[in-house]
Amino acid sequence: MSVGGHLIEIMPIRLASGRDVVRLWVVDSYSAEVCVYAEPQESMPALGDEIWWQSGRIMFERDRQTLVKVGYSFSAPASQPTPSRQESKGGERA
């Protein structure tokens, strides 16, 4: 499984445990889509940034900044449209 790629979605969510996290959805160089959870913090990567992860850290901004990784990475949810391929209507996602 991929360990990073270009960021196509940043979504704050609450896990079943009640923990607030940010889901980061990336597309790697082989067009595989993978998600990873991170602890929210003030300094976050932006859409289009390249991120990668190893152990309990997610690196971005050419390894100058890190996020705390929560759990394991996982395949992007098949039940949701890929953020990079959604059409927008009036500035909002369809």
- pLDDT digits over 52-75, tens only? 999 899 999 999 999 999 999 999
- pLDDT digits over 2-57, tens only? 589 999 999 999 999 999 999 999 999 889 999 999 999 999 999 999 999 998 99
pLDDT of residue 24: 97
Domain count, the chain: 1
Contact of 51 with 24, CB cutoff 8 Å: yes
Q: Is residue 9 part of a domain?
A: yes
Single out the residue of 75, 88, 90, 70 nearest to residue 16, CA to CA.
Answer: 70
pTM of the full structure: 0.81
Q: Any idea what the CATH number is for the domain that residue 15 is in? A: 2.40.50
Q: Is residue 94 part of a domain?
A: no
Rounded Cα gap, residues 62 and 49, in angstroms = 10
Q: Is residue 74 part of a domain?
A: yes
